Structure 1
Amino acid sequence: MRYRRPSLQRALRRTHLRLAVSAVVFAALLLSLVAWLALRTYAENNLMLLGRSLAYTAEAAVVFGDRVAAQEAIAVIANDEDVVQVRVLDARDAQFALWRRPDGGTLARFERTIADVALPGPVTLPIRHDGKIVGRIEVQGQGRQFFVFLLSGVGGVLGCLLVTFAVANVLAKRMHRDIVKPLRALAEVAHAVRRERAFHQRVAATPIAELKELGDDFNALLDEFEGWQNHLRAQNATLAHQANHDTLTGLPNRAYFESRLTQALAEARELGTHVALLYLDGNRFKDINDQLGHDAGDAVLVAIAERLRQPLREGDLVARLGGDEFAVMLPGVRQTSNAVRLAQNLLASMQKPITLPDGGEVVTSISIGVALYPTHAADASALLRAADAAMYQAKRAGSGTWHVAQSARG
C-alpha cells in the first residue's frame, strides 16, 4: 500500500495555533536582525559620507599645516553629526587635529558602549591634494541613532515576544516536529544562498505533502539559479579577458599593461625597489605584411609574443601595445644590467626562423629600449616614454640591438 503523506491542512488542524505563534516569533527575530543589519549599513555609509566631507573640508588646512583651521573646520561639521570623535592625521600618520564630543554623562557613555558592540568601528579615509595623499581622517560614530532604535524597536519586539512566549512554550515540541523544523531548514538554505551565494545547497524532504512540494520547487529554483550563476561567471570571465587582452596574441593589451605598471610602481615606491621596462618594436614587419600578406604578419606577431613569454619569471608581464610594439615589465629588478641580459636573450631568440602558414620561413628582429624606475623616470607614463625613446635609439643604431634610456637627471 502506497504511503500517503499528511496534508498541511490536517497538520494545522492538529496543532491549532502552532503556526501563528511560530510565525510571530520567527518574524520578530528576523525583522530585528534585518533592521539591525540595515541600520549598521546605514551608519557605516553615513560615516563614510561624513568622512569624505570632513576630508574635503580639512584638505587646505592639512596642506598648509594650519592646525587651528583644521580644528575649527571639523568642529563646525562634527558638532551637528552623530559622531563622538574626529582625528586628522598628517602624511606621517602623526595627529594633526582632534575633535571630541564633550562627555554627556552616564547616558552618553551607555550609548557609546552599545554602539561599540553593535555598530561598525571608526572609518578612516585619505585626504588627497592634487591626486596625492597628504593625510588621513578618522571618524568614530556616537551611536545615538542606534540607541533610539534599541529603545523603540527592540523594546517593541521584546514586548511581542513576551506576549507570545506562554503559548509558544506549551506548543513548541509538536510545532517543531510538524512545521517549524522543515520551514527553518528552508529558511537556513535561503539565508545561505542570500548571504554566501551557496546555490549548491538543497532543502531536505519533509513528510508534509505541501511542504515537500515547496521544497522541491525551491530546489528546482536553486538549480536554475546555480546554472545562471555559472553561466554569468563564465561570461564575465570571457568578457574580462577580452577587455584586457589582445585577441591575436593572447597577451595583455596596452590599457591592462599600463594599469599593472602603475600598480607595480606604487608598490616599488613603497618598498624602495626597482621596476625595469623593456619597450620592443619589430623590424621589417611592414615589409612582411605587405609582401607576404596579413596571415604571415599575424604569424610573425604570434611567434614574437610566444618567444617573449618564454624567458620571463613569475610576476613579470609582457603585453602587446599595438601593431608590432610590445612591452615587458620586470618588477623587483635590482639594476639595469639584469634587464639588459634579458634584452640580449630576447634578441637572440629572434634569430630562429618563423614558420609561416604557407610553410615558408622568415627571420625577423626586434629593437629594444630599456628603462628603470626610478633611475630613468618617476611615473608610469614617463617610464614608457623613456623606454620608447631608448628603443628608437636602438633602431638608429641598427636592427636587432638594445639601448638603455638616459637618466632622468641627465
Structure 2
Amino acid sequence: MKPPVLRTTSPPLTLARTLRRVHLVCALIAVSLTGGSLMIVGMIRLQALENHNLQLLARSIAYSAEAAVVFNDQRAALDSIARIASSDEVESVSVFDIHGGRLATWQRTRNDSHEKIWGLVDRLPWRSAVAVPILNEGVPVGEIRLHGSPNGLLAFIVTGFLWIAAGMALSVASTLYLSRRIFNRITIPLGELARVTHQVRSARSFGQRVPPAHITELNDLASDFNALLEQLEKWEAGMQLENKSLAHQATHDSLTGLPNRTLFERRLAHEVERATRDKQRFAVLFLDADRFKEVNDTMGHAAGDKVLVAVAARVREQLRAGDLVARLGGDEFAALLSPLRDAEDASRVAWNIAVAMREPIVFDDGTTVMSSVSVGMAVYPDDALDGIGLIRAADIAMYLAKARRNKEWRYNAAGLRGRMVHFNE
C-alpha cells in the first residue's frame, strides 16, 4: 500500500492581488478582442481595396498587351506587362491567348533567404488574384491573370500586431496604476478592519478604532464596527468591575471589609513558603472579642455588628503596612505579622491592640459598651512549620488565654507550643 502523498497548499492570495489580477486579465482580454476585431475588419477592407486596385492594374495590362496578343508577339507581351507589373502590389502576371495558351509570364523575383516565409505566404487563404479578358474591338482575344503581392497585407498585419502589443503594454501599465489607486481605497480600509479585529481577538484591545474610509459602504462598515467596539469596551469594563466585585466578595468579609478565612489561609500558605525560603520568622495572632455574645443577646444583632466593625478597625490600626488582619467568622479574627525579628515584637502588637480596645465603643444613640480581646500567638518556625499548625497553635493559645484571665503564659502539650495573652478592660 502506497503511503499517502502530502500535497502542499500555497498560501491564499491577498484581496488586492486577486483584484489586480482579475482587472489585468479583463483589460488584456478587452484589448485583445478589440485589437483582433480591428485587425480582421482592416484585413477584409484592405483585401477589398487590393482587389479593386488589381482589377485596375489588370485592365491597364490588358489594354497595353492587346496588340501583342493579337499578333502573338511574346516579347512585346512580356515588355507590356513588365512595365506595369513592377509595382509592389503585383506578385505575378500571365497572358493567355484566346485558346488558353500561355503567351507570356512575369514573376517578381524573391529573396531565396526568405524561402520559408514565401512558402507560408503562398498558402495564405487571402491572396488576391484577378482575371481580366483582353478585348480587341469588344471581342475577347485573350486573358490576363494577375496575382497580388502579399507585402502590403503582411505589412498591415505586422504593423497591426505592433500597435496591439503597444496598446496592451499601455493598457497593462494604466491598469496597474489605476488599479493600485482604486484598490488601495478598498484594501487599505479592509486591512485596517482586519488588523483591529485581530487586535481585539488576540489582545482584547477594545479601545482600538477603525479609521474612516473614502468609500461610503466601507465607511459605514467602519462606523458600525467602531460602534460595536465601543459597546464591547463598555461591556468589558462592566465585566471587569463585576469580576473585581465578585472576587472581593469571595475573599472579603461583607460586614467589616476585612479579608475572610479563604484569603487569610492563602496568604498564610504563601508566607510559609517565603519564610522557609528566606529563613525568616513571622507570627500569627488569633483574636476573639470578649463578651460579644452578651452584647449580641442583650442589645441586638445591630449592636453586635457595630462591635465587630469597631474591633476590626482598631486591630487594623495597630498593624504595620505589610501585616494582614482577617475576620475568620463570628467574633474571631486573625492577624499575620511578617516579617518578625522575635516573639516580643508580636507581643507588643498584641499589647497595642489591647490598649486600643480599652476605649469604649460608642453607638449612634450615645450608648457605650466596653469590650476586650483575648489573643493567642504562634510563631513560625518555633511553634509550627505549616499554616494549619500555626492557626491551630494560636487558636488553642487564645482559648487558654481566655480561660486564664489576667495572665500571660506559655503552653506546651504533645509538642505543640503556643503563647497566650489576655487583656481585660
Tell whether the structures are fold-level matches, with TM greater than 0.5.
yes
Give matches, 1:5-404, under 5 Å: 155-157=8-10, 167=21, 170=176, 173-174=180-181, 176-398=183-405
The range that moved more, 183-192 or 170-179, is 170-179
Aligned length, in residue pairs: 257
Q: 1:187 to 1:166 in 2, by over 3 A?
A: closer
How large is the RMSD of aligned CA atoms in angstroms?
A: 2.6
Tell me by how many angstroms 1:159 deviates: 8.9
Contact residue 393 and residue 416 of structure 2 kept, 8 A? no
Task: Work out the percentage of aligned pairs sharing the same amino acid.
Answer: 44
Tell me by how many angstroms 1:158 deviates: 5.2
How far apart, in 1, do the equivalents of 2:19 and 2:214 lie?
Answer: 27
1:28 corresponds to? none
Gaps of 5+ in 2: 25-175, 418-425
How far apart, in 2, do the equivalents of 1:204 and 1:173 lie?
Answer: 20
Q: 1:281 to 1:187 in 2, by over 3 A?
A: same
What amino acid is the match of 2:235? Answer: W
Query: Which structure has the larger Rg over C-alpha atoms?
Result: 2
How far apart, in 1, do the equivalents of 2:186 and 2:263 lie?
Answer: 55
How far apart, in 1, do the equivalents of 2:396 and 2:411 lie?
Answer: 7
* TM-score, normalised via structure 1 length: 0.58
How far apart, in 2, do the equivalents of 1:157 and 1:312 lie?
Answer: 67
Map Cα deviations across residues 189-211 of structure 1 (whole Å, 9 max, x no partner): 11111122111111111110110
Gaps of 5+ in 1: 1-150
Map Cα deviations across residues 245-272 of structure 1 (whole Å, 9 max, x no partner): 1111111111211111111111111111
Tell me by how many angstroms 1:220 deviates: 1.0
Contact residue 370 and residue 405 of structure 1 kept, 8 A? no
Contact residue 279 and residue 388 of structure 1 kept, 8 A? yes
Q: 1:258 to 1:369 in 2, by over 3 A?
A: same
How far apart, in 2, do the equivalents of 1:280 and 1:159 lie?
Answer: 69
* TM-score, normalised via structure 2 length: 0.56
Contact residue 343 and residue 402 of structure 1 kept, 8 A? no
1:147 corresponds to? none
How far apart, in 2, do the equivalents of 1:160 and 1:299 lie?
Answer: 71
Q: 1:275 to 1:336 in 2, by over 3 A?
A: same
How far apart, in 2, do the equivalents of 1:385 and 1:159 lie?
Answer: 66
Tell me by how many angstroms 1:364 deviates: 0.5
Contact residue 391 and residue 402 of structure 1 kept, 8 A? no
Tell me by how many angstroms 1:176 deviates: 4.9
What amino acid is the match of 2:382? Answer: T
What amino acid is the match of 1:315? Answer: G
Map Cα deviations across residues 121-166 of structure 1 (whole Å, 9 max, x no partner): xxxxxxxxxxxxxxxxxxxxxxxxxxxxxx968x5225968x9799
Greater RCO (Cα-Cα under 8 Å, separation 6 or more): 1
How far apart, in 2, do the equivalents of 1:328 and 1:377 lie?
Answer: 16
What amino acid is the match of 2:356? Answer: S
Q: 1:404 to 1:332 in 2, by over 3 A?
A: farther
Q: 1:194 to 1:158 in 2, by over 3 A?
A: closer
1:23 corresponds to? none
Q: 1:358 to 1:323 in 2, by over 3 A?
A: same
